[in-house]
Structures are given as structure tokens and as C-alpha cells.
Chain A
Amino acid sequence: MPLETESKARVRALVADFRPNNGDMMAALHRVQHEFGYLSQESLEVIAEQLDMFPAILYGAASFYDEFRFEAPAQTTVRWCSGPACRLRNSNGIRDAMLATLGMEDLHEQTEDHRVGMVLGQCNGCCELAPMVWLEQHGDHGPEQTPVGHMTAARAVRMARALRDGADIEEAIDA
């Protein structure tokens, strides 16, 4: 499979400067996910080799962390702020409205066509914008995040409908 070899080679080049037992695992995982949007089995194998770890141990470690993904993210991911300031302004309603609009049972799912996904986000101290979500896409230069503040449930429905129907981030924000 020539394609596989090529992407393996890309991963290998990416992680070439990391060393075993040097505290490099987190950096290696981040760098590969940054580039590809997720950690494929094949890339985990390459990283494990580079760090002199069993792939099972590496996967076991990586899967501990919420932010490492092992499947490709949706085209657009809605990161929903779960923090306290947002909860005081009906962020639960915002979450449930978006999930219902997208036909998803819970966070960390994607629409069947992989257009939209939703994940749980943590407050990063922009609570003046509460309630908020971030819209994320994986661009050529890694992940791109657009914070959207002062959300409401009605806006959440419009935004989710727009994204579901193929709108880009700008259109979804203005929906």
C-alpha cells in the first residue's frame, strides 16, 4: 500500500526529534494530531516505535486524555463550554438544542455525514462571553478555533441547522 507508506513516512519525519524516556510523548501526540487532525493506528505505531514504547502502552496512555482523538474529526466541531458562568445562562439548553438539531444522543458524536460533531469544552476564562461555544475546523495549519459568545438556545438551533445543511463557519455564526 504505497499511500500508507507515504503517510507513515510523514509521521516518522514529524516525530524524528523525539526520544524515548525523555518526556516527549505528549509533544509527539500533539504534533501528529495537529498535522492530521487525529491519531490513526498507523501513526500511533510510528510514534510508539520512535519512543520505544509498546503500541498498546502508548494507546493506553494517549486514550487517557480527552483531547487525543483516534478518529477523524467532523468537518466542523462544536465545542460546547461546560463551565459555570455558561451554565448560569442556560448552556444546558444550548447543548440540548444543538444535539437535538443534529440528531445526536450525546456529546462526542458526529452527524452521519461527518459534517458536524460536538464535544465538551472547558472554560478558558472568557466568561464575559458566556454562554459560549467554539467552532473548530482542521485547517492546513492545524486546528482553527472560532469562539462564539453570547449564545442563546434559539441561536444554537439556527447555528446547528446551518452547519448541518453545509454552511461554513461564517454563515453559521450569522444564521
Chain B
Amino acid sequence: MPEGVAMPDLSVALERYEELRVRADAEYAAWRNPERPRIDIAMDTSSLANGARATGVAIHRVITERNAAVDMGQVHGYGMQWIHPSVQITFPNGETVLYGPVKPEDAARIVDEATGTWGAAADLRHGMVTGTHEGVPSIRDHEFFSLEPHERRLMRNLGLTDPDNLMHYIARDGYRATARMLGRHLSEEQVRNTLNDAGLTGRGGANFPTGLKWNFLYGAPGEEHYMVCNADEGDPGAWVNRVVMEGDPHLLIEGMLIGSYATKAKVGFIYLRDEYPFSVQRMEDAIREAEAAGILGNDVLGTGLEFHLRVVRGAGAYVCGEETGLLSSIQDSRGMPRVKPPFPAQRGVFNKPSNVNNVESFANVPLIVRHNSEWYREHGSDKQSGTKIFSFSGDIPRVGFMEIPFATRLEDCLRVCGGIQGGQLKAIQSGGPLGSLLPAEALPKLILQPDSFTPWDAIMGGGGMVFCNDQTSVLVLTEMFAQFVEDESCGRCITCHHGNQRQTEIIRRILDGEGRREDEPNLVMLDRTLQFSNCVHGQFSPKITRNMRVHFKGDFEAALLGVDPTLTMKGMYEVVVANQRPEEQAKAAADICPTAAIQGEPGRRRVVDEACIRCGACFEVAPDVMAKRPKAPKPGLVPIG
């Protein structure tokens, strides 16, 4: 603080907050108990992909045609993505019911249900989001949410607010932590200590204590400190950060605002992946609203404190999720990870002290500051306190996300997701491309806590869990990740850049049925070499291949011999015309084949093997005609060992 400038009076924050709160309470009460029934369309990336806009348009049309006494609004999906597009109806008595999937053709029934013909959409109901209604269970009692705490924390506003409405966030105690922290003169150190006491650790994968990291930035020299949010969420199969940003954008803003106070940062960046345009829009709108309300900007809640926040949109580079790559990308250059130290707290954005945290790390902060660290520790375990959002996908009937306490059994998660579908559980993929491929036998022993994964040479990671059945070879998945880490190598280190090219080549060749005796030792050598890469990307890039080699040794060795019981590795099976009849099917197969590999006259059709690319199109149209036949193992291939 320069000489002669008075300390800002922070107690004014409480007054400002109370003013906002009065307005927010009134607006929110009118939304919760509307004068007329309201149909809220769930709007988020998943809902939109499932056709939420078309559903919204159809409902709007019915309302207009009938001049029905119904309003429309929006919420975020509740977690059950398999029922998208979903809608909620809120009645004047405050009862809210969740429906899905609501297709455009269901619009009339939904409007009927909202306007008094209770039961018109009974088959689409899933439960009560709030209130009770005879014959309709609470959504909290749905099996899918049975592992969640009774009261959600990070997802507490889902289904209960319009994510685009700042007033809704405030009415549900949003920005209260900020107002109290400032108004009651909580010191920067107290804030950081509260987080440390709570046991909050980074959710981006490395699990470093958040408060401790903030100590480094607070203690860094100079006035110019930057607070950076890592919203790059590049792991395929993980969409935890997306839920926070699209479901409750102000929770992230408030987390960053508290962080800026606790570390003396005046400027913040949210580095957000390009694949989430809807998140970009929600975050930018929320920032604008917070600025207009005097929560962000030059005069945070009237205190004279400054915090400016901006979204920087990524452009499809996975390594920009690595914190130094991310910082480089913000600074107008290639997003290449660099050598550490210097750490971001020493040299970050524009070479000034900075701090990088994951979206979910920030999202926990307002909750901890508003309650206390003991409250936070009520969930989770001694080793890892709190709750975390996880996203579940793969061969399961219920794809979605939930917020569960740490140390929840992974086996229970699979159960509430409806169990494995289409075969037996074969593998669990966690932690993204730098993560793990776990064998089915690990499942009963795994709890959602980082150290539980360690004995399996695995990581829990950012929260994406993919359950895989035994119908696809684990080598097909290995090839996917090998190619991913190769593609996404920034190219700085020869080990990572070329090592990963070699790794992919070898795996591909095995898939083509050309495995060699030396492949295993070569993969081991590459693994060792990759450890000498600069950043975690290179160091962890052979991890999934290693997991495959070790945890799925039988599959790997069989593949080297050209044997694949799943018949999903290209080089290990051929496609044949098993039956010439029915001819309609045989003709359909020949017609659909993109390479014209199915040749010959009716009754004498055959597949030209060299032309067949194993795409699988013919099986769909001709299930009784086309078949896969395992190839004999390559002659001359010497068994290893």
C-alpha cells in the first residue's frame, strides 16, 4: 500500500452484500414459487447435444398455440445424462419435478402436465427435485444418487437455480463467504489456513494442498500477482469442470475471488478448452454480470479491492492443461510446457508470480470459507476430506455425473451406474491419457481416493471413470491413448516426441497382427527412456501401455501371437460371407461396403480380404450373412518367453 493511501474499509462489503441479497431473495422467491407453472429446459453441453433446443422450441410452440398460462426458463441437468434432454416443471407451490427424455413430440404432454393434467407425462417423471408429491419419489432417492451426500455441496445449485442468474446464486448464499471474509476482516493467512485445515488439495491430478500453494503466491515479491484457473479439462471421458462452469459459474468466480484476496492477486485468467463453447459463454456472461453488480472489477463490493477476471479460450492443445504450457499459451505463444523451477509462483503469466488451480479446487473454496474446515471434513476420509464430482461413461447404461465423498467404493459407483453392459467388466480407465487402465480384479479393492490407485500403478485423476466391457480389446484402447499422447506431445523433448511415435507404431503393428518378439523389450525400453522427458506429459505417456502390458499380460502376449478373442484388432480376423442367404441381406452388405470389398454374383458373394478395412458396416445390415473369422496366428511368429 503506497504512503498516504488509506486502508480500504472492508466492512462495507457486508452492507453491499445485504443490499444485493434483498434483491436476490425477492427474485429467487418469485422463481421458486412462481405465479404460474414454469417449464425449465436443462441447458448444458450434454443437453444441447441431446436436442434440448429442439425440445425447448417445441414446448414454446405448444404454449404459444394454446396461449397456455405457463412460463419457460432454464436450469442445468441434474446428473443423469442418459435422460437428456430433460426438463423440470416448477409449480406455484414450489414443487419441482424432473422429466426426461423429453423429445419434441412430448412437448404437448409436458405442457398438459404443467397446466393441470397431472399424469399426462407420468412415464417421463424421474422424481421431485424439491417438495413432495404423493406417488412421486424424491430425486434424492434415485439409485444413481444414492452415493451422494444427503446435501450436495459443489452441485448444490443444480436444478435449483438458473445458472445464468447471479441473483439465484446470491439468494442461495453465494458471495456470502466473500462478504464475510472481507467484512469481518479475515486475514489472508486465515483464509489460507482454513483451506489447509480443511485438507483441500488440487483436483487437477497432482493433489497438492491448495492453501499451501497460495502461501507461495502470497509470499512472492512484487504487487503484480496473477490467479489462473485451469479449465482445460483435456482428459477424454472427464467432464467434471464443465459441470461446475455450466452448472454454477459464480461458484468458480467466487473461488477465484477469494483466492485473489488470499494471495494479493488483482487479475485472474480462466483458461478454458475450446471444446466447451457453452462453458465459455456461461463463464463470460457470469463475469459480466458479476462486474455489473460490483462484485468483480475495480471496487469489489465497495471495498476498493480490485479483481479483474478474463476467459482465455484454448484451441485444442492437451498440453496446455499442464500449468506451464497453460501459462505460455496465455502469454501469446506456443503452449509448450517448460522446465520447472521456476514454478508459477516465481514466474508465471507475463513472468510475474502466478498460481494455477483446477476449476474444482476453486469451487470448493467458497464452501469451506462459508462453513468451516470441520464441516468440510465431515465427508471423505482421514486421508482425503471432502467430496468430488466424478463423471462415468463407457459400457454402462447410466452415463452421467455425481458428487460423492472421497473413499467411496468404485464398485458401488459401477452398481449405481447400472452395472456393466454388453459383456463382462474388462477394464476401468481412470485419469485420462496419462492415467491408467485397471484390470477388473482391481475393482473390489478400489476406493475413490488417490492412494487407493497407487498400488496398481494407477492414478485416480481428475474424475473421469470409463468402464469397459470385454467386447473391445484393451489393445484397441491402448492404441487410442498411445496415439493421443503422441499427437499431443509439444515436441520439446526428443524422448517424448519420438518415443511416443515409436510407441504408437509398435502398438499399431501389433493390432495389425504383426507383433514381434522384441516388441515387449522395446516397449519397456521406451518406457524407461520417456522418464527422461521434461514434463509429466512425457513421463506419464507410456503409463497406459505399461498398464496394458502388466495388468493384461495374457491379452498382450496373445496379441503378439496374433490371437484376439474379441475380434476387434484389425489384423487378427477376417470378414467373410458366412451365408449366401438371405440374398437381400447379402445385397445390402455389398451395397453398404465402402470399399466394394464384397464382390461376386448373388449366391457367390465373397469378401476380397485386401480391400476390407474391417469397418463393420456389413454386419449391421447383414447380421445373418456376414461374420468375423479369426485368422490363424502368423506362421513363423516365435512365442516370447
Interface residues, chain A, with chain B CB atoms under 8 Å away: 21, 23-27, 29-30, 51, 53, 57, 60-61, 64-68, 82-85, 87-88, 90, 92-94, 96-98, 100-101, 120-130, 132, 147, 149, 152-154, 156-158, 160
B622: min CB distance to chain A, Å: 10
Give the top 10 A-B pairs by smallest Cβ distance, nearest first: A125-B239, A65-B315, A127-B393, A25-B332, A83-B236, A123-B236, A66-B316, A67-B316, A128-B399, A97-B615
Residues of B contacting A29 with CB < 8 Å? Answer: 315
Q: Which residues does chain B contribute within 8 Å of A123, judged by CB atoms?
A: 236-237
Residues of A within 8 A of B336 (CB): 64
A84 to chain B, nearest CB (A): 5
Query: Is the CB–CB distance between A101 and B237 below 8 Å?
Result: no
Task: Say whether B613 contacts A51, CB under 8 Å.
Answer: no
Q: Which residue on B lies nearest to A57, using beta carbons? A: B333
Chain A residues within 8 Å of B394, by CB:
84-85, 88, 127
Name the distance in Å between B293's Cβ and chain A's nearest Cβ: 24
Q: Are A101 and B594 in contact (CB under 8 A)?
A: yes
A-B contacts besides A87-B472, A157-B593, 16 pairs, CB < 8 Å: A23-B312, A23-B330, A25-B332, A26-B312, A64-B334, A65-B317, A85-B393, A88-B468, A88-B471, A97-B615, A97-B617, A100-B595, A125-B45, A152-B620, A156-B617, A157-B615
Residues of A within 8 A of B17 (CB): none
Of B31-39, B215-223, B269-277, B517-525, the one touching chain A: B269-277
Q: What is the size, in residues, of chain B's interface with A at 8 Å between Cβ atoms?
A: 65
B477: which A residues are within 8 A, CB to CB? 84, 87-88
B468: chain A residues at CB < 8 Å are 84, 88
Residues of B participating in the A interface, judged by any CB pair closer than 8 Å:
45-46, 48-50, 81-82, 84, 234, 236-239, 242, 269, 274-276, 310, 312-317, 329-336, 349-350, 391, 393-395, 399-400, 429, 466, 468-469, 471-472, 476-477, 480, 484, 487, 490, 592-595, 613-618, 620-621
Residues of chain B within 8 A (CB-CB) of A94 are 615
Subset of 20 A-B contacts with CB under 8 Å: A23-B310, A23-B349, A53-B332, A64-B317, A65-B316, A84-B480, A85-B393, A92-B476, A93-B614, A94-B615, A100-B594, A100-B595, A101-B594, A122-B275, A126-B46, A128-B50, A128-B81, A129-B49, A152-B616, A154-B621
Choose among A24, A85, A96, A128 the residue that contacts B82 (Cβ–Cβ < 8 A).
A128
**Given A87-B477, A126-B45, A127-B237, A66 contacting B315 (CB threshold 8 A):** yes
Asked if A122 meets B620 with Cβ closer than 8 Å, knowing A61-B332, A101-B594, A154-B592, the reply is no
Known: A23-B349, A93-B614, A93-B617. A84 touches B236 (CB 8 A): yes
Kindly list chain B residues whose C-beta atoms are within 8 Å of the C-beta of A21. Answer: 332, 350
Given A26-B314, A100-B615, A124 and B395 touching (CB < 8 A)? Answer: no
Q: How far is the CB of B338 from chain A (nearest CB, A)?
A: 14
Known pairs A30-B313, A87-B480; A122 contacts B616 (CB<8 A): no
CB pair A61–B242 under 8 Å, yes or no, is: no
A24-B399 contact given A84-B466, A87-B480, CB 8 Å threshold: no
Please pick, from A26, A51, A85, A98, the residue contacting B329 in the complex, using a CB distance under 8 A.
A26
